């Protein structure tokens, strides 16, 4: 974010401190504009730092095709600078990435990679499965559960109204059958869509580069804005096509 502030200051003849002030002033405005355009992803609960959007039940009511298409989910981590506080260092250290990170879980459409849901921003030490369990997701009541495509990191996840779909895990001391390998290959071709969505979100360098801002809540706000801007690009891409 700091290189971005330097660039803004250079373009508009502002000091870095003034550029930083304006960025913090306009980020909530941009986030609100994305909400009015229905491009900001859902966040039905959590700490309350981020405003509440349409819940999953409302989204599925507006887009009933999701009942048949299903939804894809995955976690993503963003690097942060090493905290000075010892407890913060322990909480933000990700054993998977071997560095200090912030984490979110995203749910996306499998057809156009639009981000439908963004979890609360959590510390890197929190497991992906724990993040989504703490969110209290509820898609509403339907005749059959909605498919939720995930990776093996979410093994054992149970959410009312959803049917988690995971690849077949290799049994200990055994090999997968050819049919199971074929099923995993087919499933990975579908689930890669959520990886593409995360790559689209991280086109915003503020959620790709090492996060250095110390203002409380800005990490979550930046991710919300990045997801909203990705959804705008998706809508424009399909509208143009």
Does residue 172 sit in helix, strand or coil? coil
> What's the average model confidence in pLDDT over 209-221?
87
Q: Is the pLDDT of residue 45 over 80?
A: no
Query: What distance in Å separates the CA atoms of residue 205 and residue 21, rounded to the nearest whole number?
Result: 19
Task: Give the residue-averaged pLDDT of 177-200.
Answer: 94
* Residue 26 maps to a domain: no
The predicted pLDDT at position 207 comes to 92
pLDDT tier at 17 (50, 70, 90 boundaries)?
A: confident
* pLDDT the model gives residue 105: 93
Residue 11 domain flag: no
pLDDT of residue 216: 83
- With CA atoms as reference, report the closest residue to 221 among 93, 9, 35: 35
Determine, yes or no, domain membership for 22: no
Whole-number pLDDT of residue 15: 73
The average pLDDT across 152-181 equals 90
Better-scored residue on pLDDT, 61 or 74 = 74
Q: What is the pLDDT of residue 44?
A: 55
Phi/psi for 77 (5° steps) reads: -120, 145
Is residue 10 included in any domain, yes or no? no
Say whether pLDDT at 55 is over 80. Answer: no
Question: Does a structural domain hold residue 204?
Answer: yes
pLDDT at 102: 95
pLDDT on residue 240: 61
124 token code pair:
């890197």
- The answer to whether position 61 is within a domain reads yes
- 4 domain residue, yes or no: no
Share of the chain above pLDDT 70, in %: 88
Is 70 exceeded by the pLDDT of residue 110? yes
Give 46's pLDDT tier (boundaries 50, 70, 90): very low
For residue 190, what are the domain limits? 33-240
Lowest mean pLDDT among 29-33, 41-45, 172-176: 41-45
Q: Using CA atoms in the order 52, 149, 230, 214, what is the torsion angle rounded to 10 degrees? A: 60
In this structure, is residue 92 part of a structural domain? yes
Predicted local distance difference test score (pLDDT) of residue 122:
93
Asked whether residue 9 carries a pLDDT value surpassing 90, the answer given is no
How many domains are contained in the chain? 1
């Amino acid at each position: 974010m700091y290189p971005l502030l330097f660039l803004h200051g250079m373009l508009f003849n502002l000091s870095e401190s003034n550029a930083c002030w304006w960025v913090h002033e306009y980020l909530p405005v941009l986030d609100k504009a994305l909400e009015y355009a229905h491009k900001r992803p859902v966040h039905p609960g959590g700490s309350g730092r981020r405003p509440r959007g349409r819940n999953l039940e409302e989204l599925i009511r507006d887009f009933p095709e999701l009942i048949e298409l299903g939804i894809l989910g995955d976690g993503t981590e963003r690097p942060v600078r090493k905290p000075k506080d010892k407890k913060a260092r322990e909480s933000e250290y990700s054993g998977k990435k071997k560095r200090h990170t912030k984490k979110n879980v995203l749910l996306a459409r499998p057809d156009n990679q639009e981000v439908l849901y963004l979890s609360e921003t959590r510390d890197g030490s929190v497991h992906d499965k724990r993040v989504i369990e703490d969110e209290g997701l509820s898609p509403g009541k339907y005749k059959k559960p909605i498919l939720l495509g995930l990776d093996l990191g979410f093994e054992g996840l149970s959410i009312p109204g959803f049917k988690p779909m995971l690849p077949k895990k290799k049994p200990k001391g055994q090999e997968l059958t050819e049919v199971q390998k074929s099923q995993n290959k087919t499933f990975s071709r579908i689930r890669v869509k959520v990886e593409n969505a995360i790559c689209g979100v991280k086109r915003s360098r503020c959620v790709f580069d090492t996060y250095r801002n110390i203002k409380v809540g800005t990490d979550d706000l930046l991710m919300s804005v990045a997801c909203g801007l990705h959804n705008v690009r998706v809508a424009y891409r399909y509208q143009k096509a």
